[in-house]
Structure 1
Amino acid sequence: SELDYHPSAVARRLQGRRSEVIAYVTEVGGQPVNDFQFKDFITVLARSCAEHQLDLLIHPLRSGGDYRTDLSRLLRGGHVDGLILADTRAEDARVNYLIEQGLPFVAFGRTNRNDNYAFVDLDSQAGTYASTMHLIERGHRRIAFLGTSLTFAYAQYRLDGYNQALRTYDQPLDPALIFADLDNESQTREAVRQLLSLPEPPSAITAATDMLALHAMRALEDAGIQPGRDIALVGFDDIPLAAYARPALTTVRQPFDLIGGLLIRTLLGVIAGASEIQHQHLVQPTLVVRESSCM
């Protein structure tokens, strides 16, 4: 439409000029940001941008705001050459809009629509499969799962990995052991309380994030149960606090250096006109075994 027409941006493209700036678009007021991860990850992105003589713009989107106008202004106005879209949801209207408008972007994380756009994502299902298998192979059969909001695609993949591991060993799926929509410490504490009150409590817990695992660790200790001795506990992400917890937390590590560089290279490929389907990358995580699961 006429309202979406930005001659300055068109002129820039016709002249082959670029801003040499890319935007990292993250949502404000949506999922709580893990400050430790965010700082480290932005540092990795900035370093990768510098290697390609690019500047990095961190652009916040308001949760529930007018993302169409915001994203269009950012890209069509010539302010940036492309964007990295973070905080992707299972059903993400922003991804659909960017695809329909033909705007250059790479998603950090998949959605339920994984056909015609570039993405870089951690194989979260493989991560929780590995963490749950680790517990099963140590003899645990009653394994609980603590998950975060299933609005986000990665949360569903992490639950899927847990379920897959139980199926591999023909373990029954007990709904009483699954809390798949936790947002904060108080909810996690209540989930742990309910798990401990079961006639047959779990001998192990795997959590979809390290913060959930650390909240659970405190709740268990308050109940007089020592993780790593009385119950096994595993997290996901390997945030800095994980190694310094007592006991140190077994977790699944995201290779942020690899992911950050891959996001930048993938976006540059999209900007250069390469097929988006050639730029879909699933990065493998690593299980880091520490004291919390070594009972």
Structure 2
Amino acid sequence: MDRTVAVTVTLKDIARQVNRSVTTVSRALHDCADVSPETRDLVKYTAAQLGYAPNVVAQRLQKQRTETIGLILPHHGPRLSDPSFGDMLTGVVDAIAGAGLDLLISSAGDVPDETPLYRQRIGSRRVDGFWVVRTRCHDPRIRYLIEQGAAFVACGRVMEAWDFPYVDVDYKHGMRSLVQHLCQLGHRRIAFVTGWSDLTSVHHQRQSFVQSVSELGLDDDPELIVEGEMSQHGGYRAAQVLFSQRQPATAIIASTDLMALGVMSAAQDQGLEVGSDVAVAGFDDIPLAETAHPTLTTVRQPAYQMGQLAGQMLAALAQGQPIARPRVLLQPSLIIRQSTNLDLWL
């Protein structure tokens, strides 16, 4: 049997081939200005012909940087299968890859406090910085990273006035636009299927929902707010609670599109026509929102842009550069579809 043994090409091999010093070859490969264009071209051509690949580990040790960003998925999600988070993740990866950085993803599992994992990563110097997701109202991760002086960027805010770089969405504006839209359609009894109350995003949604309902003079029955797991199943179960009430809501807003799709399924199982008998709306504008039956009214959140901006901030921090805009609040937009008014589409 013919076995091919892989041979590692070194700088010495290239230097021997082009009759130059190892130092000259190294500087040519790094595009140093003191190497002539002719020598640079010759060295790079020879390196490619020989199949040279730089020793990334050695380079990172020399720089005393790992060129890696860490993401520790919290116990309450998001899951990698979440469409909205997938878009955000793609944005981060695209941005940091352009700066030559990698993303190391690990999970906290069922551990409610991820601080020990951050302590371990910082102590082992496995990453140059952290990307923090799904921030909580009073987030121990943010507190710990600030105390340690660690480099990090969060997609989300906290309730404290702490100084740290973040990218977030104006959830209050998004919720207000949804409640106003449903009010204009004549709904007076609007329910809110909310995600986990300790999440900052959900807190802002709920605060804006209560305020908007009050300002518009709508029914402010506390039983119209039901908390559920942030999944289709969680939305389905919360909707069952609402539909069992003596005076059910005529419109339901959910914290996420996945939850809203669960609400729609529960309504249809009750024999209700979504968009006619009951209006349903969500947040995110995931691809399923546009293909659901009926299509889902939602608040579009620029998930990819959020990730891209966070990735650019992380790249700057990893390279020791200042962040031009350390705090960014993006505006969402209302996308009206069939689930709130079938008559508009018939």
Q: Do both proteins adopt the same fold according to a TM-score greater than 0.5, normalized to the shorter chain?
A: yes
Instruction: Give the deviation of 1:225 after TM superposition.
Output: 0.3
- Say which of 70, 74, 98 aligns to 2:117: 70
The unaligned stretches of length 5 or more in structure 2 are 1-59
2:194 aligned partner: 147
Deviates more, 1:54-63 or 1:206-215: 54-63
Look up the equivalent residue of 2:79 and give its one-letter code. Answer: V
Of the structure 1 ranges 231-240 and 66-75, higher mean CA displacement relative to structure 2 is found in 66-75
The answer to whether the 8 A contact 1:132-1:162 is kept is yes
1:132 is aligned to 2:170: no
Measured after TM superposition, the shift of residue 66 of structure 1 is: 6.9
How far 1:114 moved relative to its partner?
A: 3.5
Q: How does 1:116-265 map to 2 (within 5 A)?
A: 116-182=163-229, 188-265=235-312
Cα offsets for 1:102-156 (capped at 9, x unmatched): 1111112112224222211122222111111111122211111110110211111
Aligned-pair CA distance for 1:274: 3.8
Q: 8 Å contact 1:90–1:151 — kept in the other structure?
A: yes
Offset of residue 196 of structure 1: 2.9
Partner of 1:30: 76
Q: Is the 8 A contact 2:145 2:151 kept in 1?
A: yes
Sort the Cα spacing of 1:176 and 1:65 in 2 relative to 1 into closer, same or farther, 3 A: closer
Compute the RMSD of aligned alpha carbons. 2.6
Write the letter of the residue equivalent to 2:299: V
Compare CA radii of gyration and give the structure with the larger one. Answer: 2
Q: Which position in structure 2 is the counterpart of 1:9?
A: none
Deviation at 1:185, TM superposition (A): 5.3
> 2:295 touches 2:338 (CA, 8 Å); kept in 1?
yes
Correspondent of 2:105 among 52, 58, 76: 58
The TM-score normalised by the length of structure 1 is 0.85
Match of 2:93 among 30, 41, 46: 46
Aligned residues: 281
Residue pair 1:122, 1:284 contacting (<8 A) in 2 also:
yes
Compare 261-270 and 98-107 and name the one that shifted more: 261-270
Displacement of 1:190:
4.4
Letter matched to residue 107 of structure 1: A
Distance 1:149 1:76, change over 3 A: same
Q: Distance in 1 between matches of 2:245 and 2:108?
A: 42
* AA matched with 2:121: L
Percent identity over paired residues = 34
Unaligned runs of at least 5 residues, structure 1: 1-11
Task: Give, in angstroms, the shift of residue 253 of structure 1.
Answer: 1.3
Cross-structure match for 1:280: 327
Q: Judging changes above 3 Å, is the alpha-carbon distance between structure 1 residues 94 and 293 closer, same or farther for their aligned structure 2 residues?
A: same
Q: CA deviation at 1:17?
A: 4.1
The answer for the alignment partner of 1:5 in structure 2 is none
- The aligned amino acid for 1:61 is A
Task: Flag the structure with more relative contact order, 1 or 2, with Cα contacts below 8 A and sequence separation at least 6.
Answer: 1
Q: Which amino acid aligns with 2:276?
A: R
Distance 1:34 1:222 in 2: 29
